Chains A and B, each alone.
Chain A
């Protein structure tokens, strides 16, 4: 499965960092580089509210695969989004729906995907899977 191959790739990359600072600097860098979501999609409809940081998510189907773009007002959240985009964007809807995103845990960012962080990421992953599920039924 393509999704797992990409996840393993990220896990391997993160193994190079033995300092928390290096890891976070990398995430911050990713966050800064992430292409911004098309501004027309940065609206209420695409907003996933979080108590701490907010996320905007847009997904569309292209040739049987889901492409998505996302953004956040916090750069660390955005960096983690960049990793999620890398793993999930361009994949088949049914694979997104059934994916097990173990890489987050393995690279030591599990707390960012816990509901207590309330940074919009948990809801974003949930929404992505729902989109995957709905699209796989439709096609």
Chain B
């Protein structure tokens, strides 16, 4: 990342209380109470360094990239390409051109489904997803399978919210071309055994796309060690801006895929008879990109990277364990998703209560949680529930937040009973 743009952050020991101070929004009140933000699975809050980077970009560097010979354009281009390098290092990709900027996880998955699918899916080929997928990792595959007369198969899950790996094994076959699953489930928090999924899929010659939207805020991902073919995630869930995301793809695969969208930046030469396309990564980045988004995302990655991954994971595991223990003491409360390996996400239902009512009464007490089906309707159908209340934690949450949540929940239940 460009030194001129990136705020300098010193390496520090993990301290959630100190971290809170980096996030201006956490100082505000909601409905007359201090905000307790437990909807990090939907979007995470932004540290001051990200906000400042965005502000500084528009004040000092704003210009279009890859075009101008003038000073500002070069500054902006440099910052944007430095941001790509920051992302590359973060996920340990071999080359910066394997890192594509997109609008977000949804856009990344659509890019692969559409571009790879149109070129490589033949009638009768199979794409495998799982029961716990977000709609963003279901619908793009349904669309392309429909178009290419391919077959969509779904890995069942156990009641605990873990993939049925034996069933997955039996779904893999000669016609399996793509396996697309969540690294971490947004509704349940389950951390899927992606190493096994990748190994088993590759044995059958199938590619693997991981939806990493819910994973990257919580743990480090090494695409090379995983040997994953495609990896998608969003900027806004990892403390960066909205409207920007990443698609990592292996060089050979990306080179063999046709462009996703046509327009500026993705071309080498255009005549009315024929257009030749630009090389990676620009082939897949038509039009003026979300420049400040990319630069802001790099600032967010710089911010997260200052923390020792183990310390961050320990803190979040402590929150998860503490919240699980406290919530389980509430009569009638049932946690949905009890996998052995979970990210700091807790979905629950309460006997006889509608998630919407709970969410409304928590909001009145300044607590932000998500209620509903979390864009995973097939998963809710599996559990025969209309939705859940979901508390999803980030590194700036504390045990005190959990205590407030539990007290507010008890109060809500008194009111509803």
Contacts and interface: CB of A to CB of B under 8 A. Distances in A.
Interface in A19-68: 20-21, 24-25, 28, 51-54
- Per DSSP, are chain B's interface residues mostly helix, strand or loop, or mixed? helix
A53 B356 contact: yes
B26 to A, nearest CB: 22
A52 B416 contact: no
B49 interface: no
Given A20-B31, A74-B357, A51 B373 contact: yes
* B: interface residue count bin: 10 to 19
B31 A75 contact: no
Given A20-B364, A74-B354, A25 B372 contact: no
Contacts of B387: 52
A91 interface: no
Contacts of A24: 360-361, 364, 415
B53 interface: no
A71 to B, nearest CB: 12
Nearest to A54: B386
A127 B372 CA distance: 23
Interface residues of A, number: 17
Nearest to B352: A75
Interface string A81-107: 000000000000000000000000000
B373 A73 contact: no
Interface centre among B31, B355, B411, B415, by most A CB within 10 Å? Answer: B415
B371 interface: yes
Contacts of B31: 20
B415 A119 contact: no
A7 interface: no
A76 B357 contact: yes
Given A20-B364, A24-B361, A52-B372, A74 B415 contact: no
A56 B357 CA distance: 17
B354 A53 contact: yes
- 8 tightest A-B CB contacts, nearest first: A74-B354, A74-B356, A53-B356, A52-B356, A20-B364, A76-B357, A74-B357, A52-B372
Interface of B: 31, 354-357, 359-361, 364, 371-373, 386-387, 411, 415-416
Given A28-B416, A52-B359, 19 more contacts: A20-B31, A21-B364, A21-B415, A24-B361, A24-B415, A28-B357, A52-B356, A52-B372, A73-B354, A73-B386, A74-B354, A74-B356, A74-B357, A75-B416, A76-B356, A76-B360, A76-B361, A118-B372, A119-B356
